Structure 1
Amino acid sequence: MKRWPWAICLLLLLLSGCATVPGTTTGTVAGRSVEFALEGEGAPVVVFENGLGATLDWWAKVWPDTVAESRALAYNRAGHGRSDASMLLRDGAQVVEELRALLRARDLPPPYVLVGHSLGGLYMQLFARKYPADVAALVLVDSTHPDQVKGAGNPDHWPTWLKLVFRATTSDTAKQELAALDDTGAQVSSLPVDPAVPVWVLSALRAAGAPSALATDAERKRADISQLYPGSTQLWVDSGHGIPLEKPEAVVGAIREAVRAARVARDVRRAQ
């Protein structure tokens, strides 16, 4: 059986329960219970967004060093972990507005350092393009490309066994998020990039698996993400798709650079 990026991602998801983010709790936002962790001191606030079907525990190995650097929030989107499901459309526009509501409810002021893995990276791209004044920096961790499910990446082209694995191991919410992924990508592509927002792009060197049309397409799109953000810093990481679990130090390093760059920019503004 060939190895495929999505299959590796699903297996890592099943393994991610071995580490947890401490201090998780729930709060009510707009009448819905949301699970989150909030720790650390200082600005800017670092905000984590999970990948498809993943929970905040994907950041367990990144969390301790991040909260030693600044205040940080990790949470579970609607329908994941202990967060209540939602009947609303699970596209990027809705996810971004729900995240903004959570940030307001916890009195966490912008600008933020946004960190997103996989599909979470696509959501954070939308956040940064839609509300650039609220974003100090963007860290994309093997992020989904806005055109990820076009061409060979279309789920209709997945091998039968992979479709069966996905259907059997993911929640209804994750299936809804995947179904809305093309619309979310279009939302991202329809908005301009603000060159004032610094971007770090972490890309996996070992995510492709065996040669195939899907793997080739995924690698092309992985390399192209940095081209969407002129002036971005792209770092190729010796890891599979699950960089937060396999190479957390790479994520921590990018977050530290992003936080420090944000603080320098803040100090410059104050001095003017």
Structure 2
Amino acid sequence: MHRRTRPSIIGIVTYVLVGHSMGGLYARAFAGFNPNDIAGLVFIDPADFTETKEDWNTIFRRIGVPEKRIDEMLYARLYQPAKVDSVRFGPWSEGQVLAALRRTDFAEVTRLPVPNVPIYFFIGGRFEVAPERRSTDYDHTKFFEVRTNVNIERWRKFIYSSSKGGALIYLSNSGHYLHRDDARAVIGTLKMLLENLGG
């Protein structure tokens, strides 16, 4: 998060929010509750707060997964009770929050206003799921490819919800941790955003 003071109004502080993964969801919620305090939004491969259950199911239909299996996977993903992971409790508990929001298609977040500020999305194009963790129910590589294309389309529409413009940046050699895999591209874009804001 970058803090800047509006030069024309003494004492008013605005923020450029930068959120990666689950942090993207938190940034979207914070911006929705405090739209007048936001100068820019940057999402780095975020937990997808624009996604619905139907969006998710449609991806599986496109790659040929039978309808019965789609229903079973959706139940396992969102409704099957999960055993507490006391060793990795932080990530586990965040996963529970994310699942609860997914069950309502992120209703608590989507009802919030989107600040009229520049909006940037970074997307990684490298498939990183280890072979032993890939699904045996479907072609995991194909799923990643289709889901990435679907996300790009939805995130493009989200950018257009603001009249201030923005960008959707696809880094083909980066994975989920784009800010580590291609730090120069991410930092360079952030610097450009701040310069355009006069910060």
Q: Give the TM-score category using the shorter length.
A: 0.5 to 0.7
Counterpart CA distance in 2 for 1:131 and 1:253 is 26
Contact 1:208 1:215 in 2 (8 A): no
CA shift for structure 1 position 198 = 0.9
The aligned counterpart of 1:240 is 175
1:180 counterpart residue number: 100
Pair 234,218 (structure 1): closer, same or farther in 2 beyond 3 Å: closer
Cα contact 2:127–2:144 (8 A) shared by 1: no
TM-score, normalization: structure 1? 0.47
2:67 corresponds in structure 1 to: none
8 Å CA contact 1:226, 1:232 repeated in 2: no
Residue segments in structure 1 that go unaligned for 5+ positions in a row: 1-37, 46-108, 265-272
| Contact preservation (8 Å) 1:112, 1:137 | yes
Query: Which of residues 184, 187, 195 is equivalent to 1:249?
Result: 184
* CA distance 1:173–1:141, shift in 2 (3 Å): same
Distance 1:224 1:203, change over 3 A: same
Deviations 1:39-85 (A, max 9, x none): xxx9528xxxxxxxxxxxxxxxxxxxxxxxxxxxxxxxxxxxxxxxx
Aligned with 1:226: secondary structure? helix
For residue 246 of structure 1, report the CA deviation from its aligned partner.
1.1
Match of 2:4 in 1: 44
Q: Answer yes or no: is the 8 Å Cα contact 1:44–1:259 preserved in 2.
A: no
What does residue 151 of structure 2 align with? 221
How big is the shift at 1:218? 4.9
Corresponding letter in the other structure for 1:137: G
Cα separation, 2, equivalents of 1:178 and 1:189: 14
Q: In the TM superposition, what is the alpha-carbon distance from 1:234 to its structure 2 partner?
A: 1.0
Q: TM-score, normalised by structure 2?
A: 0.62
Change (3 A) 1:169 1:240: farther
Which residue of the partner structure matches residue 94 of structure 1?
A: none
Using the TM superposition, give the Cα deviation of residue 217 of structure 1 relative to its aligned residue in structure 2, in angstroms: 3.3
Q: Give SS of 1:111's match.
A: strand
CA RMSD of aligned residues (A): 3.5
Give the conservation status (yes or no) of the 8 Å contact 1:204–1:236: yes
Question: CA-to-partner distance for each residue in 1:109-151, whole Å, 9 max, x for gaps?
Answer: 7301100011211221122222111111111111222243624
Preserved contact between residue 50 and residue 154 of structure 2 (Cα < 8 Å): no
Correspondence 1:122 to 2:57: no
Percent identity, please: 26
Q: Distance in 2 between matches of 1:208 and 1:156?
A: 24
Counterpart residue identity of residue 181, structure 1 = L
Residues 240 and 220 of structure 1: is their aligned pair in 2 closer, same or farther, counting only changes over 3 Å? same
1:21-40 mapped onto 2 (5 Å cutoff)? none
2:46 is paired with a residue whose SS is coil
CA–CA distance in structure 2, aligned partners of residues 173 and 135 of structure 1: 28
Task: Please say which structure displays the higher CA radius of gyration.
Answer: 2
* Residues 1:243 and 1:214: Cα distance change in structure 2 (over 3 Å): closer
Contact 1:203/1:223 (8 A) holds in 2:
no
Letter in 2 for 1:257: M
2:111 to 169, 179, 190: 190
SS in 2 for 1:145: coil
CA distance in 2, matches of 1:215, 1:144: 17
